[in-house]
A and B are shown apart, each in its own frame.
Chain A
């Protein structure tokens, strides 16, 4: 399950960054990958649709969000947590 989440999240971020999933590494930030604020909002939408979860995220205060977007790894971790919390 866990690696599926990771692969799918990377695929979603790669799509927004117009990169191959293999070119996305876990320690990179979305900024590094060239994903802007609109790309981020679209990525979150794709994540919600893919995993059937609701992501708490307000673009006005990204730093206050429980959804940590500081790196690819943090996004994967946050999605794993939400999937565990919201499944079933």
Chain B
């Protein structure tokens, strides 16, 4: 089986418009969450979110492109351009057919849906722009990445709610490992911070009105974010042969289903995914120095996740560092695992562990080293990234330092 490495990373998210800006913000424990600035926010009871700030679509895309690119597609293209530029790859000739794109998103072009439902229902219009369907479809981002960068191999979109990105990156990993592709552009994107998107989440009554405080005893829910993270996964021999700068190796992936409840997480399902990723990577738990937690800041997730980690890691659970960067950028839903993988790359490459900010009170049900409030320097060899979705679909990735 081929080995798989990461040779490019790109992002736009509430912490920054590039991977470098995001690493810097994570190192400093900055918070990208604030008052929502969206249409009709006064009719929302949740007015807090991790928005991408100072983003001007006109500076990136012309009018024709904007007619086709929903905000989630724009974020994806911005992140993909950075990742592919860093990788130094050019997709042409035979190689273009050996490279594809697999991305995660949960809501796809939700802003486009929101705006156009308004037009026909609220404003009573009987006509919408001709490109609404290709703009809102979940695979729009993957297709535009494919077209923009000439990726002609296996390309598709994965939608598994909050685990979409991890599932997508797991597929990219497998496709290269099995020899189906030489390189894959992968990650995910989400832009759900529109009136309808936030209103739907309000209904569940799991959203915080003040902050995302994962693992803290006084946590009171999740905060939604938006943005994209995109990586270039590449066959190791291919990357080495061209002298590419290798950011990390992807060594394991596992996915499980709870088969239990549509919203409540299962300790067993999460634990099976974590131990599955370790087995796939052929490592024991004590090799893992850092876990990027799913860590949503809800009562249910955080205690279930800590119990699952304790269950798999045994004694080593007391030593492993586990943090949730959602405290800084919010929950990017279908794009979250991709932005969180940046924290994993930073841990392996720079020896900096991103903190869980907003941590105020220890919770006996989350009694692990959650790297509270301040980043930490530590040399780690292996890391895990957890994602546990509504619907009970779990996906865990394992990465190794090179």
Contact = CB atoms under 8 A, between A and B. Distances in A.
Interface stretch (A25-33, A36-44, A72-80): A36-44
Contact of B220 (A37, A41, A44, A61): A61
Interface in B42-72: 45
A46 to B, nearest CB: 12
Interface stretch (B186-194, B202-210, B270-278): B202-210
A41 B208 CA distance: 16
B382 to A, nearest CB: 32
B334 interface: no
Given A37-B264, A38-B263, A54-B45, A59 B206 contact: yes
A60 interface: yes
Interface in B198-229: 203-209, 219-221
Contact of A59 (B209, B219, B299): B299
Contacts of A70: none
What is the predominant secondary structure among interface residues of chain B facing chain A? loop
B208 A60 contact: yes
B299 A60 contact: yes
27 contacts: A37-B264, A38-B262, A38-B263, A41-B203, A41-B204, A41-B205, A44-B205, A45-B203, A54-B45, A57-B205, A58-B205, A58-B206, A58-B207, A58-B208, A58-B209, A58-B220, A58-B221, A59-B204, A59-B205, A59-B206, A59-B221, A59-B299, A60-B208, A60-B220, A60-B298, A61-B220, A61-B299
Contacts of A64: 220
Q: Give the size category of A's interface with B.
A: 10 to 19
Nearest to A64: B220
Interface of B: 45, 203-209, 219-221, 262-264, 298-300
Contacts of B209: 58
Contacts of B219: 60
Contacts of A41: 203-205
Question: Which of A37, A44, A60, A61 has the most chain B CB within a 10 Å cutoff?
Answer: A60
Contacts of A59: 204-206, 221, 299
A8 to B, nearest CB: 21
A60 B205 CA distance: 8
10 A-B pairs closest in CB distance: A60-B299, A60-B221, A59-B205, A60-B220, A61-B220, A59-B206, A41-B205, A60-B298, A57-B205, A58-B220
A50 to B, nearest CB: 16
Contacts of B300: 60
B114 to A, nearest CB: 21
Given A58-B206, A59-B206, 18 more contacts: A37-B264, A38-B262, A38-B263, A41-B203, A44-B205, A57-B205, A58-B208, A58-B220, A58-B221, A59-B205, A59-B221, A59-B299, A60-B208, A60-B221, A60-B298, A60-B299, A60-B300, A64-B220
A44 B300 CA distance: 19
B331 to A, nearest CB: 13
A1 to B, nearest CB: 26
A44 B203 CA distance: 10
B212 to A, nearest CB: 11
A28 B205 CA distance: 23
Contacts of B262: 38
Nearest to B206: A59
B263 to A, nearest CB: 7
Nearest to B218: A61
Contacts of B203: 41, 45
Contacts of A54: 45
A53 to B, nearest CB: 13
Nearest to A45: B203
A64 B209 CA distance: 14
Nearest to B264: A37
